[in-house]
Chains A and B, each alone.
Chain A
Amino acid sequence: MNNKYLKTAIVLARLMQLGYGALIVLFAYLLLIPALGGAIPPELQDAGNKFFYVEFSNAREIFSNTFNMVFYSLRAILLIVLFILSLESLIRIIRSVKTINAFKQETIRQFSRIGFLMLICFIITLFDMSTEGNGYTITLSLEIQYLLFAFLSWILAEVFKEGNRLWEESQLTI
């Protein structure tokens, strides 16, 4: 199937993957390196007349100690890796639609995989851990959108499973 929308979707998904890849580097540079003893990058220090400046909404909390910096950076990097993997699955699904192979077991597997990855995203973002002074604070935050995406993906996997059954039946009708 030569559909320009599908081609555009694949290109956009690839660009998003590249963008997320760049974000991993940025998080490692801004949070992980300073946390492990490196200097605080100048991009974080003040807006001034700099061309590139990064501002975190809860910067005071994040930069208050090493634990917070490591926790936030590792969680962000893990989330981004999960997004990149989900986008890879999405690209495979779009490719299968393009080659008119959508109702195959592979597509069902990819939808289930996206659902599973989104569930992990939900679990990762469920707890916000930080420390100030002596104690640790754990805040519960429900990022329902990840759970919703997970459920949608699993529902789509079931729909495609039914489609696969019908497709196989039509293939075996002589």
Chain B
Amino acid sequence: MEQIQIQEPKLRPVADRQQTDGTPGASDSPRCHRKSEIEMILGALHNGASLLVVAGPGLGLSTLASFLRAELRARDEESILGEPTTVKAMLVDLCRQLGLNTEKRTGTQLQEMLAEAVPARRVIMLFDDAHRLPVSIRSWLESLHERGARIVLFATLPPRRDIFLRLPRIELKPLPHAAIREIMLEASRYVGRDFTSAELSTLAERCGGNPMLARRVVREEHLGLDPTAPDHTEWIDGTPMLIAALLCFTVLRYLGRGLHSSDLYLVGGMLAVAVGIVRVLLYSLPRKSAKLGQ
């Protein structure tokens, strides 16, 4: 039986790479495709504001957070990056990033230490996957924000409440085709396969400007998997438009009445019934499932 060898892409977290490579944009680093967003965030931080960066899954929030942190480091701005784990573990991690002693400290003590150090040292707090932050941390962040701390939260479709509602918001848009193409080329180099322009163009239609999906479809194609229903959210349901267009034919009925043409009136009536049937059939089709594989 033929064995398929799957070469896993050896992608390292961008943040790690920045630490070893020095600067973002080094020859083996991925290019940042969200420079304008980074500039916007830096501008806000420069003005002492906090921000919430929102996007759908896979649109590059973590990558943006890493690039932002590297950029802050390059500008000699002190920053800490929090990632949701347990409350205590996250607070310990944040304190360690600031070089604070965390031994034998309770969670409340750690919070107090951070609340003192962050404004005093003008530290910028970044939180990736902020939608998973527990309520206690969100309330603590709210109080820090009120005391003038600069916070940037990166959240995937967060709930409409507390700090998420309070902070000014940036919404990430899907990446343009040139960026998606570059990401796919990069992913294809990792899997060791050359895709033609035509193949990349066809694969790009399954991504909807989503960098995570761009990498995934390249891997799927490399593995020879059948294309599944695309997972991006850039859809417009054309069913109501189709029905509306078909309903225009029913105007014949009224034209027939206005023009005293019983033929037109009768045919318009028949078309109205036909459109009604199509409408009922289309709306009786099963709805799209929110779960994968259904």
Report whether chain A binds chain B. no
Chain A: residues with CB nearer than 8 A to chain B? none
